[in-house]
Chains A and B, each alone.
Chain A
Amino acid sequence: MTPDRLPEPGSPHGNGRGAVRSPILRTEGLTVRFGGLTALDNVTLAVPHGEIRAMIGPNGAGKSTFFNCVTGVLRPTSGRIVFDGEDITGLPPHRISQKAIARSYQITNILPGATVLENVRIAAQSRHHSWSLVRHHRAFVDVIDRARAVLDAVGLGDKEEELAANLSHGEQRHLEIGIALATEPKLLCLDEPTAGMSVSETRATVELIRQIATDLTILIVEHDMEVVMGLAHTITVLHYGEVVAEGTPAEIQANPRVQEVYLKT
């Protein structure tokens, strides 16, 4: 828990512009080019502490590229990423993770051959004594306790001995979020967390995200507009790598430019 984390003010909905709150994540002129293609074009934005920020836009708008830059998978061609007051531009993924940014993936990305508990335990272990070679991993009870707490939080507490590969799609997506949470992030990037889910699974996932959002900042890419409108404090709309609009869900829904972008594609 960081001392500079401000308490969530009142209702999380509708007041999410957050201009008064200090940003936990800030990008300045973030640009990514793949050869002749500009995937991100001069993206400058600031996400305040404790906000749920959604990024939307048609396919190929640069949402995943933005995620990949923030989590260190891609090095931006130019521009800066500042997290918690520190320049993290171009750091490799493991360093980014150690700075307390976690992500879940669009495609389920777990350790299929390991148990549910081990998937989360190994993530929790990355914050503590991961270089010990001589003691059994089960001797580090604090790591296991942390993993169990995370599993309870994502609703998989009764499945810990199950092989991850045997979970249902929805459960694997929750495990995915659990792995990210176990690394004790301050910023959690969720890449289409409800992709491929049934209506009831989606509803449960929205509820889960709302719960975990009480003590961290969330950046979410999502195609399901109902999910986005229900969750986000602020929405950033990307189109051809550029920010075309930013505002509350109501503002975005009323924005003619956004309607144009979505109708055109």
Chain B
Amino acid sequence: MTRSAAGYWIGFAVVLALLVVAPLVLPEFWRRFVTEILIWGLLAMSLDLLIGYTGMVSFGHSAFFGLGMYGAAAALLTVRPPNLWLAILYGLVGAGAVAVFVAYFSTRLRDIYFAITTLVFSQIFYVIIFTWTEVTGGENGLGFSQPAFAIPGVVSARFTPVTLHWFVLAVVTVSYLGLRRITQSPFGMVLQSIRENEPRTRAIGYHVERYKIVAVMLSGLFAGLAGVLYALQNKFAAPDFVFFLVSGEVVVFNVMGGMGTLVGPVAGAAFFFLLRELFSRFFTEYYLIPVGIIFTLMVIFVPQGLLGFLRRRLNQ
């Protein structure tokens, strides 16, 4: 192992240890805050696979996130007793199905056309969920009870805020390591080649559309997983989370934190929520004005994002 690789893993272990300890020492409000950042961070990371590594800007991640949420809701409302693993499975199937659909149509297009197509699809799903009241609960969404953490024959325990945090942390950490490995795999190198020079990637023999479809599907699955976690934490699914504003925020997390680093978008999410917390105390509902100004300044002066300076080390 080279020295910089050792540095990476030491940094990883330190951050992970801090996140494990966090719920034990933080007050209730901030514990919840950290758990939510991990969930939004996973959503942002899933988008980074497209924005940062493949060079495709998706404004449709709210659809995958939302379908993960509603998938989990479906499992928790229809299967008795509520089962955690089924909630995850249903959420992934829901998000995966939508991702296949969106990927199939949107990856034929490039740049702004791709972005617009993903946005339109997410709005279509928003409208379906918002209006199909009998199934989705419409505007009010769906409420349900939290499943227990159960591994048959090993353990069965109700979630406490602290154990839920650890569960979320475990899922997000494994997802991060999985996404990181994907970005370093031969497949991931093809995605980065597409980002750098798409016609050239075609010319050396890669079926670019097929790689993009798989990238969107993988990204959608991880986004759906984030949706499941959010549903588990908040015990509801609501149409607001399928609305494209959520997709926009996730793009902002990526830009703020540093695209193409995976952890940058998590830092971006944390930074954004901290700013919102800070400014909403002084500016109440107008908090987006100062946040917007800071975002604009960052795009001008820190275009690489908060962790952009670590890009090489994070990707080695």
Q: How large is the interface on A (under 10, 10 to 19, 20 to 34, 35 or more residues)?
A: 35 or more
A127–B205 touching, CB < 8 Å: yes
Query: Contacts A127-B205, A132-B186, A132-B187: A109 and B181 contacting too (C-beta < 8 A)?
Result: no
In angstroms, how far is the closest chain B Cβ from the Cβ of A26?
22
Interface residues on B, range: 20 to 34
Of chain A, the residue at the smallest CB distance from B204 is A123
Are A94 and B207 in contact (CB-based, < 8 A)?
A: yes
Q: Is B193 an interface residue (CB 8 A)?
A: yes
CA–CA, A122 and B181, complex, Å? 17
Asked if B200 CB lies within 8 Å of chain A CBs, one says: yes
- Bound form: Cα–Cα A112–B200 in Å: 11
Indicate if the CB atoms of B188 and A137 lie closer than 8 Å: yes
In the assembled complex, the Cα of A97 lies from the Cα of B205 at a distance in Å of 5
State whether A103 touches B203 (Cβ < 8 A).
yes
Question: For the complex, what is the distance from the CA of A121 to the CA of B203, rounded to whole Å?
Answer: 14
The residue on A at minimum CB distance from B190 is: A130
* Chain A nearest Cβ from B55, distance in angstroms: 11
The contact string, 1 if C-beta is below 8 Å from chain A, for chain B 175-215, is 00000011011111110110011011111111110000000
Taking a contact as CB atoms under 8 Å apart, the answer to whether B207 and A111 are in contact is: no
A133 with B182, Cβ < 8 A, contacts A112-B196, A114-B192, A122-B193 known:
yes
Please report the C-alpha to C-alpha distance between residue A180 and residue B182 in the assembled complex, in whole angstroms: 26
Chain B proximity of A117: nearest CB distance (Å): 12
Given the interface pairs A132-B185, A132-B187, the reply to whether A94 lies near B193 with Cβ below 8 Å is no
Is there an interface contact between A111 and B196, defined as CB atoms closer than 8 Å?
A: yes
Bound CA span A138–B207, Å? 22
| Cα separation A166 to B208 with both chains bound (whole Å) | 27
- Chain A: CB-nearest residue to B203: A93
Q: Are A136's CB and B184's CB within 8 A?
A: yes
Q: How far is the CA of A125 from the CA of B190 in the complex (A)?
A: 9
- Docked Cα-Cα span, A132 to B189, in Å, equals 10
In the bound complex, residues from chain A placing their C-beta under 8 Å from that of B200 are: 109-111, 179
Q: Which residues of B contact A97 (CB under 8 A)?
A: 202-205
Are the C-beta atoms of A140 and B186 separated by less than 8 Å? yes
Contact string, A179-190, partner B, CB cutoff 8 A, digits 1/0?
110110000000
Residues on B with C-beta less than 8 A from A135 are 185-186
Q: Mark A92-111, 1 if CB is under 8 A from B, else 0.
A: 11100110001100000111
* A interface footprint on B206-242 (CB within 8 Å = 1, 0 otherwise): 1110000000000000000000000000000000000
Query: Which of A94, A102, A138, A180 has the most chain B CB within a 10 Å cutoff?
Result: A94
Contact between B193 and A179, CB atoms less than 8 A apart: no
Q: Shortest distance in angstroms between B252's beta carbon and chain A's nearest beta carbon?
A: 24
**CA separation between A118 and B190, bound complex, in Å?**
11
The interface residues of chain A lying within 8 Å CB-to-CB of B190 are 122, 125, 130
Q: Does A34 contact B (CB under 8 A)?
A: no
Interface positions of A (Cβ within 8 A of B): 71, 92-94, 97-98, 102-103, 109-114, 118, 121-123, 125-127, 129-138, 140, 143, 179-180, 182-183
**What are 10 sample pairs from A and B whose C-beta atoms fall under 8 A apart?**
A92-B207, A109-B199, A118-B189, A121-B189, A122-B190, A122-B193, A131-B186, A132-B186, A179-B204, A182-B204
